[in-house]
Amino acid sequence: MELAALFTESYVVGFLLLFFRFAGLFIAVPIFSHESIPVNMKASMALFFTIVFYPLLPPTELIITTTTIVLAIISEFTLSLVVGLVLQISYHIITFAGGQISFMMGFSMASAIDPQSGVSMPIISQFLSLLTLMLLFSLDMHHWVFMFVYESLVEIPLGSYMLQEELFGYMMHAATEIFVVGFMIAFPIIALSWMTDIIFGMLMKTMPQFNLLVIGFPIKIGVALTIITATLPSTLLIMQKHFLAAFNWLEMLF
């Protein structure tokens, strides 16, 4: 009888809504949304974890009609996209900083396809993006997402999520953090690049035969790479702090 009860109308609708909750997370959350993961693999993972979490599913209290099911599916996608957006904003801090560093190093034209987002970005941004992705794995962020789903099954019943006013305030603050923190990460390289530009300008005035393209740019790139290497631990600590803050904010959804 217990097994037969799992195939009642409310549990079937609950299974469908839980699948869409996982599907939205695999579309929007960093790591799972990686462009190198095929879409059919993401769908298979969403179905697998839906089956795993299905026994923990509380009975759905929705009035089951076509309209309520459609609205509930939209609600589940909205919740997943909000979670993904909160984490993606923190992730894009490092790509913004990498863009500023690439510009100062003269690498703004040296771009490549970022495997995380599938868009073209400067090579320094891609390097820092991949390091941040490794940081997320070291923080077990993929496990945190599953823990979030587990907690949300009780705190946020399936199909009942609605956008909160606090979300828009957080988004404005987080969007500001992209520029402020991104510039803070890139500032040591920017400051040293300006200093080398001033020195090269003085050398060109005193030594007109000084070839900036042949001598100056390699020195500038070497200085920038040295500063990136020296500040990399601090950069990763800053990113860790912001990802932890983003996950702590997700508790406000409950």
DSSP secondary structure letter of residue 65: S
Q: What is the number of other CB atoms lying within 10 angstroms of the CB of residue 244? A: 14
Per-residue pLDDT band for 119 (boundaries 50, 70, 90) equals low
Half-sphere exposure of 1 (CA within 13 A, CB side): 0
Q: Which one has a higher pLDDT value, 231 or 163?
A: 231
Q: State the residue range of the domain holding 88.
A: 2-253
What was the pLDDT predicted at 89? 84
- CB-based contacts of 13, cutoff 8 Å, min separation 6: 60, 62, 64, 69, 72
Given a contact cutoff of 8 angstroms between Cβ atoms, the answer to whether 204 and 210 are in contact is: yes
User: What is the pTM for the complete model shown?
Assistant: 0.75
11-32 confidence digits (pLDDT tens): 778 788 888 888 888 888 887 7
In tens, the pLDDT along 46-86 reads 888 888 888 877 767 777 777 888 888 888 888 888 888 88
Mean pLDDT across the chain: 78
* Cβ atoms 150, 56 nearer than 8 A: yes
**Tell me, what's the pLDDT at 7?**
61
* Domains identified in the chain, total number: 1
* Nearest CA among 151, 111, 206 for reference residue 21: 151
Task: State the first-to-last Cα distance of the chain, in angstroms, to the nearest integer.
Answer: 33
Window from 33-47, 145-159, 198-212, 222-236 with minimum mean pLDDT: 198-212
Q: Cite the DSSP H helix spans in 139-216.
A: 141-155, 165-206
Query: Mean pLDDT, to the nearest integer, of 104-132?
Result: 68
pLDDT greater than 50 at residue 1: no
Task: Reply yes or no on whether the pLDDT at 210 is more than 70.
Answer: no
Q: Name the band, by pLDDT with cuts 50, 70 and 90, for residue 112.
A: low
Contact 133, 30 (CB under 8 A): yes
